[in-house]
């Protein structure tokens, strides 16, 4: 993110860039999408939870071959995002968009009528919207453009957090093995990352609105320092799925 003030002076003189944090968040989004954390994109917890079929979910003791293969395809399709988080990796927005297409295609292929896969399938539009918002955030250059991108990214992050709780609830309603549930339920660290992401962007937005270049620099440093090392990689998730749910 390159923010210019009204005189055209480049505020990157602070030596702080959002690109590192956004690249890491792209990987986080892939992991979140692979976990199918968004139950009903944009819906409130109450509305989304009301749509869950408790009876049918409680009858699920095993994923079964067809349900397992459908979920596994999403995890496999998320593997390319691990490459973006390697030391020295510099993915472009085009790289990210290209890598995300197979993942979202696999997500949309989930059976919408299935009690468990249906809510997981609903993750696709919301996860795609969040990915788009972080790509836009990484490319903004002018004050108003960046403010708009921040507002959209924060809204998308909050939708992920709120709806992720509903998806976790759907998984918990099943009678799947504990090891399988652990794979399908969103890691607590993911919620922490997104809350910190939202807080840092809120600080950046306030700094932009007040015209504080020092505040913008501090907010970008805060974004870059968000600890995402506790999040599992797509490869780790796939390995856990195969050992816990097959």
The pLDDT tens digits of the residues spanning 138-191 come to 777 788 888 898 898 888 877 777 767 777 888 999 999 999 998 888 878 778
Q: Give tens-digit pLDDT for 63-114.
A: 999 999 999 998 898 888 888 777 777 777 778 788 888 888 888 888 888 8
Residue 117 lies in a domain: yes
- CB within 8 A of 80, min separation 6: which ones? 99, 102
Residue 3 lies in a domain: no
CA distance 26 to 54: 33
Phi, psi values for residue 10, rounded to 5°:
-80, 120
Q: Does 205 or 31 have the greater pLDDT score?
A: 205
Inform me whether the pLDDT recorded for 46 exceeds 70: no
Mark 157-168 as b/e (b = at least 16 C-beta within 10 Å): bebbbbbbebbb
Q: Name the token pair of 101.
A: 């297409």
Residue 1 lies in a domain: no
Residue of 37, 47, 48, 170 lying closest to 107 (CA atoms): 37
Residue of 160, 162, 148, 97 lying closest to 123 (CA atoms): 160
Q: How deeply is 139 buried, as exposed, middle or buried, from its count of CB atoms within 10 A (0-12, 13-18, 19+)?
A: middle
Inform me whether the pLDDT recorded for 122 exceeds 50: yes
Residue 5 lies in a domain: no
- CB within 8 A of 8, min separation 6: which ones? none
Q: Which residue has the tokens 């988080």?
A: 85
Residue 4 lies in a domain: no
Q: How deeply is 191 buried, as exposed, middle or buried, from its count of CB atoms within 10 A (0-12, 13-18, 19+)?
A: middle
Share of the chain above pLDDT 70, in %: 76
Share of the chain above pLDDT 90, in %: 18
Range of the domain at 222: 11-244
Number of domains in the chain: 1
Q: What is the pLDDT of residue 227?
A: 65
Cα within 13 Å of Cα(209), Cβ side: 10
Residue 152 lies in a domain: yes
Q: Name the token pair of 74.
A: 């999403």
**Across 19-34, average pLDDT:** 52
Return the C-alpha torsion angle 77, 82, 85, 91, nearest 10. -40
Q: What is the pLDDT of residue 11?
A: 42
Inform me whether the pLDDT recorded for 42 exceeds 50: no
Query: What is the pTM (predicted TM-score) of this model?
Result: 0.77
Residue 238 lies in a domain: yes
Inform me whether the pLDDT recorded for 37 exceeds 70: no
Residue 233 lies in a domain: yes
Q: How deeply is 184 buried, as exposed, middle or buried, from its count of CB atoms within 10 A (0-12, 13-18, 19+)?
A: buried
**Across 27-48, average pLDDT:** 43
């Amino acid at each position: 993110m390159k923010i210019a003030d009204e005189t055209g002076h480049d505020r990157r003189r602070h030596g702080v860039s959002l690109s590192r944090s956004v690249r890491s968040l792209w990987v986080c989004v892939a992991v979140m999408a692979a976990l199918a954390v968004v139950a009903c994109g944009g819906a409130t917890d109450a509305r989304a939870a009301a749509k869950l079929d408790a009876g049918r979910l409680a009858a699920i003791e095993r994923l079964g071959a067809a349900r397992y293969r459908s979920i596994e395809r999403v995890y496999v399709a998320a593997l390319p995002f691990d490459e973006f988080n390697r030391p020295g990796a510099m993915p472009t927005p085009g790289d990210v968009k290209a890598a995300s297409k197979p993942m979202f295609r696999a997500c949309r292929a989930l059976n919408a009528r299935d009690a468990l896969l249906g809510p997981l399938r609903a993750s696709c539009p919301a996860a795609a919207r969040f990915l788009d918002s972080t790509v836009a955030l990484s490319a903004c250059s002018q004050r108003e453009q960046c403010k708009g991108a921040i507002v959209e990214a924060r809204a998308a992050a909050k939708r992920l957090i709120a709806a992720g709780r509903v998806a976790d609830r759907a998984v918990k309603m099943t009678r799947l093995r504990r090891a399988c549930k652990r794979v399908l339920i969103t890691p607590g660290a993911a919620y922490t990352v997104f809350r910190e992401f939202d807080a840092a962007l809120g600080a950046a937005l306030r700094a932009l609105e007040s015209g504080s270049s020092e505040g913008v620099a501090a907010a970008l440093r805060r974004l870059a320092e968000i600890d995402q090392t506790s999040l599992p990689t797509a490869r780790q998730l796939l390995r856990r799925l195969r050992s816990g749910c097959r």
